[in-house]
Amino acid sequence: MFLMALYLGLMSENTEIKPFRVEIPQAELDDLADRLARVRWANELPTDQVTDGVQRGPVTPGWEYGVPLEYVRRLVSYWRDGYDWRKWEAKLNEYPQFTTEIDGQNIHFLHVRSPEPDATPLILTHGWPNSVFEYLDLIDQLTDPRSHGGEAADAFHVVIPSLPGFGFSGPTREKGWNRYRTAQAWAELMRRLGYERYGTHGNDAGSFVAPEVGRIDAEHVLGVHVTQLFSFPSGDPAEFEGMTEKELEYMQFLQSFNDDMSGYAKLQESAPQNLAHALADSPTGQLAWSAQLLSATSDDHVLTNATLYWLTNTAASAARFYYEDKHSEHPAEPTTAPTGLASFAYDFRPLRRFAERDHANIVSWQEFDRGSHWATQDAPDLLVGDLRAFFRKLS
């Protein structure tokens, strides 16, 4: 029924693909600067510093309570007096961008064709609280490998959409924009672009979406490449039998992340609108909310994404993606598209025994000794190399 409804909806909507450029009015940047100049800082609990039994006075805490005031103060100062949005706007505008309406939703995307005519079409899906800026520095390497240490056979025609409700795709205005509806939209987008056979890649939220593109559009998807496979224990004690020491370490990391770092996900999947009002009114709040997960990247990357969410007022709709996904019906059957994993050292490490339960055709499993959740920022060479190797085998 959903496929029929989607088909009928597509038949009635405007399928035109329109060129797009980022041109933020100066008045909006002036308003941002004004708000940053009038920030009211959150209070923070000091801790007592004791050395050799001697009281040394209060010091500020680290990250155990969340994003520290000192970190936010430093970035707000740079945001106000040093950061240049126009620089990143211009960098984004170096690449062809477009918008189109799919299933009633505006979709913004970059579409960069390779100079190699036989390049493999590849759609890349970003995560939260990231955006299309996640992949910006990889575009030239992916589309023109011969200029970046690769071969013509490694070339990709690259499509990088903004998730529905994120950034320049603008807010969602209907319920139901979860990973499955997004995957349907991506399949339609690649059809409109004329790609009969293509690959899909995702990180973070994109690692939820990419396998579903392979499930929904199996006839046209060459392969699915992700940086996480979010497969968890089902609760059956038999799943834990014979676990190796390495697997137990992965389980401990998963438990630690779930206990200490998943508050953002729990709030966004249960009551996303609660925080949305604060984020829509405070750029400093938007910065701090984004920084919990992005703080390991560069200051410019953190601020560029915070600025994008602020300027497009998409904090609420991006958060709703979590809610819609949590409250959707998930397929019981495993995916069957050829699947490859690039797992990085300082990220969630999936256990293959669980991943193979959910994905029946894993053909590549690479674990790297460096890189983090945002491998495009701190291990781009490994990510690009694995993308090339994975799709080269499938082509």
Domain contains 256: yes
pLDDT at residue number 59: 60
pLDDT at 57: 56
**237 within a domain of the structure (yes/no):** yes
Residue 178 sits in a domain of what CATH number? 3.40.50.1820
Report the candidate in 93, 98, 92 with the shortest Cα–Cα distance to residue 16. 98
Q: Which of 103, 144, 373, 386 is catalytic?
A: 373
Q: Is the pLDDT of residue 7 over 60?
A: no
Q: Which run of H or E residues covers position 47?
A: strand 47-51
Query: Is the pLDDT at 96 greater than 50, yes or no?
Result: yes
- Per-residue pLDDT, 253: 79
Q: Is residue 43 situated within a structural domain?
A: no
Q: Does residue 111 have an active-site annotation?
A: no
In a domain, 44, yes or no: no
140 or 61, greater pLDDT = 140
pLDDT reported for residue 2: 45
| Among the listed residues 49, 66, 19, 99, the one whose alpha carbon sits nearest the alpha carbon of residue 295 | 66
Mean pLDDT, residues 347-366 taken together = 95
Asked if residue 114 has pLDDT above 70, the reply is yes
Mean pLDDT of 118-134: 98
The whole-angstrom separation of Cα 257 and Cα 215 is 28
What's the mean pLDDT in 38-57?
74
Q: What are the tokens at 55? A: 């009281």
Given pLDDT bands bounded at 50, 70 and 90, which one contains residue 232? confident
User: Is residue 373 among the annotated active site residues?
Assistant: yes
As a residue count, the chain comes to: 395
Q: Rounded to whole angstroms, how far apart are CA atoms 86 and 154?
A: 32
Residue 380's pLDDT band (cuts 50, 70, 90): very high
Residue 250 banded pLDDT, cuts 50, 70, 90: confident
Mean pLDDT across the chain, nearest whole number?
Answer: 92
% of residues, the chain, pLDDT over 90: 81
pLDDT for 219 beyond 90 = yes
Query: 186 and 161 in contact (C-beta within 8 Å)?
Result: yes
Is the pLDDT score of 365 beyond 60?
A: yes
Lowest pLDDT segment from 63-72, 255-264, 349-358: 255-264
Grouping H, G, I as helix, E, B as strand and the rest as coil, residue 370 is coil
- The reply to whether 49 falls in a domain is no
CA 82-31-290 angle, 5° bins: 65
Mean per-residue pLDDT for 7-23? Answer: 79
Q: What confidence score (pLDDT) does residue 198 get?
A: 98
pLDDT given at position 329? 94
Whether 322 is catalytic is yes
Total domains, the chain:
1
- Scanning the structure block, which residue is given the tokens 């004004």? 34
Q: Of these residues, 154, 204, 217, 378, which one is catalytic?
A: 204
Residue 45 in domain: no
Among the listed residues 322, 323, 325, 347, the single catalytic one is 322
Count the Cβ atoms, other than its own, within 10 Å of residue 297.
20
Quote the domain boundaries for residue 114. Answer: 2-37+59-394
Judge whether 273 lies within some domain.
Answer: yes
> Quick one: pLDDT band at residue 248, thresholds 50, 70, 90?
confident
In a domain, 50, yes or no: no
Q: Does 9 have pLDDT greater than 80?
A: no
pTM equals 0.92
Strand partners, 18: 99
Q: Report CA 153 to chain centroid distance, whole Å.
A: 27
Residue 1 scores a pLDDT above 50:
no
